[in-house]
A and B are shown apart, each in its own frame.
Chain A
Amino acid sequence: MSPSLANRLRIGFAIGFAVLTAMAVIGVGRFIQQRQDFEDAIARSYQVEMTARLRLERAGKPAAARATAVKETARRSELRDQISDDSRDTALLVAAGLIAGLTGALLLFSGLIASMRQPLEELVAAAGRLAAGDRSTRVRVGGLSETATLGAAFNEMATELEQEASQRDQLDRLKDEFVLTTSHELRSPLTSVQGFAELLMLERDSLTPKQAETVEIILDNCRHLVRLLNDLLDLARSDAGRLAITPRPTAVAPLIDDAVRTMRAQTETSNQALSQQIEPGLPLIEVEPDRIRQILVNLLTNAHEYSPPGASIEVTARVVGADVEIAVTDNGPGIPESQLDHVFERFTRGDAGLTQRVGGTGLGLAISKSLVELHGGTIAVESTPGVGSTFSFRLPVARR
């Protein structure tokens, strides 16, 4: 067991107190003793003088008596000088003792502080590292029992944090693995369902309208399942840090043309106006084209599905600082402010009434956000209920 700070302080105080008390007692005792001796000596001197004068005057020797008086007076004067010197010496001695005692106490305290400082500084530094996320950080345990206990407790806490983090990482890995495997395993049966439904549709003419409609519903749901699986897979990959992109300098306009062309059939069915406005002379952006197309189609699909027939949807692209900003604006119902903060979260969708009609997976915006961030960009939304919504994302310009 290492010595404790409290015990050291206690011992230090006791020694200091004893030394100071002893100094005081000795000093005062000596002072009183000197005073006593002095008074005794003065009294003796007077007595000698009186006795001598009485005896000598009676004997008729007044000169000798006077001489004795002079001698004793001189002696008393000497004694007074002596006591004055002695008192000063004693006072000096006591003062020196006090100074020595205080110096000793100071040395003791600075020694204690020094022995605390090093482990405390180490603890402060380690706590900083731990807070910054380095869970493998540990401190040396030693020194006074208080800092040793503190250090041991700190290490124990860090170990627990490290274990928890590794368990959480492991759970996350299991979850990602599970999603990847599930999405993989579901594809074979889904292929069969979709494939056979398509086979039925090849013979549409021999189906009753009711049967044909039923098969259409099966196919619709197959496509929805495929989208869901693809989205889940993207998210799981993104979580696992396995969503890799290979960015290359890419022109913006063809990407937008492509996405708009993909969406054209759907918006025309709903009689929605789909337009694009691209700033002339846009620089190339450093992206993986397929992924940007995926984001654009996600945003356009949302605009299309959440806006009523006859609405207008516009894609714009312009330079903002060192980035290119691409935005999809619709004049649909807009998003209530209370939901605006959550639109990029998973499985967050508009209100229930809309959701029934809308066929999305609730993952599109979460994936779009992951993808934009993977490219080193940012995504944002602005919306006014009753006026419309704008989803915009910024991507870095390609370096030449």
Chain B
Amino acid sequence: MTRVLVADDSETILLLMRTRLELAGYEVETAADGQEVTERLHDGESGPLPDLLLLDAMMPRKSGIDALRELRAAGVETPALIVSAHQDATDADAPSDLEVSGYLTKPIDFDRLLDSIAELTS
């Protein structure tokens, strides 16, 4: 089953994502911030890498952008989607050294999100 790691500092958003993605047939893991994401993936204790990262751009302790930068530096090439509260988040907002598969804005258009996930994990 396709595994998606979702990171957001809002428990409600995590619950929403989990419910919605599980309904669509994905296995969902959650993290409260970027720190948790990097720790978990670096340790490698959670088994194999997830198939997709869904990271909030702004989180306390460590942002999704910073977490992704660390992961990329460590050679993790898992596709990643960045969720931003900015209305017009574009590639221009993120550093070009990051391989980001796409940007989503809040409120999330789940149809688009599910399409993107399906495309990236197929």
- For B23, list chain A residues within 8 Å (CB): 199, 202
With contacts A192-B10, A192-B13, A230-B87 known, is A187 near B20, CB below 8 A?
A: no
From B46-54, B66-74, B102-110, the one touching the partner chain is B102-110
With contacts A188-B10, A202-B23 known, is A195 near B110, CB below 8 A?
A: yes
- Residues from 1 to 55 in B contacting A, C-beta threshold 8 Å: 10, 12-13, 16, 19-20, 23
With contacts A188-B10, A188-B13, A202-B23 known, is A195 near B86, CB below 8 A?
A: no
Among B13, B19, B20, B107, contact of A226 (Cβ-Cβ < 8 Å): B107
- Residues from 204 to 236 in A contacting B, C-beta threshold 8 Å: 222, 226, 229-230, 233
- Residues from 75 to 111 in A contacting B, C-beta threshold 8 Å: none
Does residue B85 face the partner (Cβ distance < 8 Å to A)?
Answer: yes
Among B12, B16, B106, contact of A187 (Cβ-Cβ < 8 Å): B106
Q: Chain B: how many interface residues by the 8 Å CB criterion?
A: 15
Are B85 and A195 in contact, CB atoms less than 8 angstroms apart? no
- For B85, list chain A residues within 8 Å (CB): 184-185, 187-188
Of listed A184, A188, A196, A222, residue having the most chain B CB within 10 A: A188
Among B16, B86, B105, contact of A192 (Cβ-Cβ < 8 Å): B16
Consensus secondary structure, chain A interface = helix
Are A199 and B106 in contact, CB atoms less than 8 angstroms apart? no
Are B107 and A190 in contact, CB atoms less than 8 angstroms apart? yes
Closest Cβ of chain A to B88, distance in Å, is 8
User: How far is it, in angstroms, between the C-alpha of A334 and the C-alpha of B96 when the chains are bound?
Assistant: 50
Are B19 and A187 in contact, CB atoms less than 8 angstroms apart? no
User: What 1/0 mask marks residues of chain A from 370 to 384 whose CB sits below 8 Å from any chain B CB?
Assistant: 000000000000000
User: How far is it, in angstroms, between the C-alpha of A187 and the C-alpha of B87 when the chains are bound?
Assistant: 9
- For B107, list chain A residues within 8 Å (CB): 187, 190-191, 194-195, 222, 226
User: How far is it, in angstroms, between the C-alpha of A187 and the C-alpha of B84 when the chains are bound?
Assistant: 10
User: What 1/0 mask marks residues of chain A from 164 to 196 whose CB sits below 8 Å from any chain B CB?
Assistant: 000000000000000000011101111110111
Among A191, A196, A198, contact of B106 (Cβ-Cβ < 8 Å): A191
Are A195 and B87 in contact, CB atoms less than 8 angstroms apart? no
User: How far is it, in angstroms, between the C-alpha of A34 and the C-alpha of B6 when the chains are bound?
Assistant: 123
- For A187, list chain B residues within 8 Å (CB): 85, 105-107
Are A191 and B86 in contact, CB atoms less than 8 angstroms apart? no
The residues of B with any CB-CB pair to A shorter than 8 Å are 10, 12-13, 16, 19-20, 23, 85-87, 105-108, 110
The 9 closest A-B pairs by CB, nearest first: A187-B106, A195-B16, A191-B107, A187-B85, A191-B106, A192-B12, A194-B107, A184-B85, A190-B107
